[in-house]
Structure 1
Amino acid sequence: MAGTPGDGRGETLRTGRLVLRPVSMSDHAALLAHWNGPLVRRHLFDGRGVSPEQVTEIIAASQRDFATEGYGLWTVRPAVRGMARGVDLDPGGADAVPLAGVSGLRRHLGPVGADVEIVYSVEPARWGQGLAAEAARAVLGYAFDVVGLRRITAEIDTGNPASARVAEHLGMRRCPDGPDGPDGTLLYAADRLRWRGSSRVADV
């Protein structure tokens, strides 16, 4: 069920294989475990551990952003479908279906000023299945077609080529006229008109 504008809940997004729901406090334990995985936090939090208090604030910030900006962070879980008619049976509970990852948007002060940045992470056991690209494509579509944003950026660690490939498959391009991040990150961007012309589906 989609949230109503300004209620802070945001909308549920669905793809062929995934259900994306705005993060809530019921996701706290799953997010804490996901973000503290060594392979995940290496590129999201510079290898540092994430405290329960930080997870609480990230969830609260996302809910504020949904209420004021129309975007935030979504949990990514596999869709569970009925055998007969393909009906989505996923009830959306935090413990009902294991977390596959996170994707979303946040306001970010980057090397070329304030931007809206897309972020995505996937549980290592699910790497190589194209889930990051599938989830991020749904988020980009929501950002451009529902929220009406004109430009989305991504800062990607130079040591994370898989994430760069996801960005490229999404139709994002490395910014040739802007500085990269000061901490060894590469700046990618997608604008609404050019992104709409991209119909590729990644399988990274």
Structure 2
Amino acid sequence: MTEVLRTVRLVLHPVTMGDHAALLTHWTEPLVRRHLFGDRTVSAAQVREIIDASERDFATEGYGLWALRPARWSGGIDGPAPGEPLIGVAGLGHRDGPLGHGVDVEILYSLQPDRWGHGLAAEASRAVLDYAFGVVGVPRVTAEIDMANPASAEIALQLGMRRGPDGPAGPDGAAYYAADRSRWVGSSRAVDAVPGSLRPA
């Protein structure tokens, strides 16, 4: 099993300590952290902890966080374009379910503000869900969305996620969405993720 994913425009690699500086810069961008970290400043130590947790999750669960970089397709060779910076993150983590109903597998994503509005967050998230449902076999993936972030709610709907019961999460509460493996795999949804071992020649 390979955890490297490719879409039409992106290459997704599991985050490593080699991404630490880029992730710290990305997650301390005010517009990024506003909805992802509740506008709290993220420290270098916290970024290390997040990377460590992702690496553990990949080892034990088969999923974690992926760094997003623009793809290059040329002469049958695909990969991150040389010198291209990290432009975001997408992946899966664990969180307590809304209103205390167990532990959910939650989809997470963030994107540099200058990349907003081009469908990249949805493209990356669809690749992550394709992998979660088709490769790992996760039965259900949820999303907790800040009510002040309607763009993320729109992405959840584009992914075919359904809104569920809301619960308390911050001063404005949160909206909860979910996608089930049975509906995802049985749908005619196009697969955007291409695992590294299956990439086109």
Same fold judged by TM-score > 0.5? yes
Kindly indicate whether the alpha-carbon contact (under 8 Å) linking 1:120 and 1:132 is maintained by their aligned counterparts in 2: yes
Distance 1:128 1:166 in 2: 11
Q: How many residues align?
A: 187
Distance 2:142 2:181 in 1: 11
Kindly indicate whether the alpha-carbon contact (under 8 Å) linking 2:97 and 2:104 is maintained by their aligned counterparts in 1: yes
Residue 36 (structure 1) aligned with residue 25 (structure 2): no
Residue 96 (structure 1) aligned with residue 86 (structure 2): no
Kindly indicate whether the alpha-carbon contact (under 8 Å) linking 1:173 and 1:189 is maintained by their aligned counterparts in 2: yes
Residue 26 (structure 1) aligned with residue 18 (structure 2): yes
CA deviations 1:7-47 (Å, max 9, x no partner) are xxxx1000011000000000001000000000000001110
Distance 2:127 2:175 in 1: 22
The structure with more strand, counted as a fraction of residues: 2
How many Å apart are 1:115 and its aligned residue? 0.3
How many Å apart are 1:100 and its aligned residue? 1.3
Secondary structure in structure 2 of the residue aligned to 1:80: strand
Q: Which amino acid aligns with 1:22?
A: P
How many Å apart are 1:89 and its aligned residue? 4.6
* Equivalence for 2:60: 68
Which runs of 5 or more structure 2 residues have no equivalent in the other structure? 192-201
* Equivalence for 2:144: 155
Residue 180 (structure 1) aligned with residue 170 (structure 2): no
Query: Which of 44, 47, 53 is equivalent to 1:52?
Result: 44
Distance 1:42 1:79 in 2: 27
Distance 2:44 2:188 in 1: 39
1:179 and 1:128, CA in 2 relative to 1: closer, same or farther beyond 3 A? closer
Secondary structure in structure 2 of the residue aligned to 1:156: strand
- Normalised to the residue count of structure 2, the TM-score between the two structures is 0.87
- Normalised to the residue count of structure 1, the TM-score between the two structures is 0.86
Secondary structure in structure 2 of the residue aligned to 1:149: coil
How many Å apart are 1:182 and its aligned residue? 3.4
Identity among equivalent positions (%) equals: 62
1:186 and 1:57, CA in 2 relative to 1: closer, same or farther beyond 3 A? same
Query: Which of 171, 185, 189 is equivalent to 1:199?
Result: 189
Which runs of 5 or more structure 1 residues have no equivalent in the other structure? 4-10
Structure scoring higher RCO (CA < 8 A, sep ≥ 6) equals 2
Cα RMSD (Å):
1.9
Secondary structure in structure 2 of the residue aligned to 1:21: strand
Residue 145 (structure 1) aligned with residue 134 (structure 2): yes
How many Å apart are 1:179 and its aligned residue? 3.8
How many Å apart are 1:193 and its aligned residue? 1.7
Distance 1:46 1:89 in 2: 33
CA deviations 1:76-98 (Å, max 9, x no partner) are 1100232xx2521537xxx8321
Segments of 4+ moved more than 3 angstroms: none
